[in-house]
Amino acid sequence: MKNQEMTSAIRNLLHEEGCDIVGIADLSPCQDLPYRDLTKGIVYGVALDPLVIKGLQEGPGMEYLAEYKKVNSKLNHMAEKLLDHLLSGGYSALSIGSTTEKFDRESLSADFPHKTAAIRAGLGWIGKCDLLITKSFGSALRFNTVITNAPLICDDPVTHSLCSECQACVQACPVNAPSGREWKPGLHRDEFLDIRSCYLHCTSISSRNGLDSTICGICIQACPWTQGYIKRSEKEV
């Protein structure tokens, strides 16, 4: 019961701080964990403004960059609150931090992707464009993960994709980076996505538009799950 109360308290804390989605992951099977003694992952996301996402058909502009940075700031602020909560309870904890320009330029990957924790926390699956997709927000989310040794109750992992025959992100990509192959657990990113072409396009379009982050977003707005989020938001206005 104590573990359940602790898990619920963490979920409530994050929702009160403004997160839109949260899950708890058992990370013990992961080979690339930064700290092997911290095997629970608290992964949480904040949804991007649907009106901003709607305008990404032609790629990113200053409005998207501002939203991107604002949400990253929110995620990091939530991490501070969460770390204080866990550390004050006597547990060890570490925030991975929202994704920034700090990634390996050779492999074009982060040390520990938030997608890994999100899949294991049951929040969503990997789309054909290699973004995490959720039923509620599509891929219009930014994430952070806090890893800890707190005895939290974990959610069930996602074991399959819901993309099926959909080719929306494949058709929308200006450089044909997604192959159209559907993700499944254990399938490496490079087996279904040309990440180098994706990165070079993001670098080019960001430079052309005067942006200081390597971003694009075309595949985010193209996803039918994201479109569902946008349409629901429009009805609520």
| pLDDT value of residue 100 | 61
Amino acid in position 57? Q
Q: Going by DSSP bridges, is the β-strand pair 93-95/125-126 parallel, antiparallel, or unpaired?
A: unpaired
| pLDDT value of residue 103 | 61
Q: For residue 65, give its domain range.
A: 2-236
Model pLDDT for residues 59-105, shown as the tens digit of each residue:
899 999 999 999 999 999 999 999 999 999 999 999 998 876 566 66
Q: What stretches in the chain show pLDDT beneath 50?
A: none
| pLDDT value of residue 200 | 93
| pLDDT value of residue 166 | 97
- Number of domains observed in the structure of the chain: 1
Q: Are 127 and 163 in contact (CB under 8 A)?
A: yes
With residue 144 as reference, give the H or E element that holds it: strand 141-148
> What is the pTM for the complete model shown?
0.93
| pLDDT value of residue 235 | 83
The alpha carbon of residue 38 and the mean position of all alpha carbons in its chain are separated, in whole angstroms, by 20
| pLDDT value of residue 66 | 96
With residue 66 as reference, give the H or E element that holds it: helix 62-88
| pLDDT value of residue 111 | 77
Q: Is 183 exposed, middle or buried (0-12, 13-18, 19+ CB in 10 A)?
A: buried
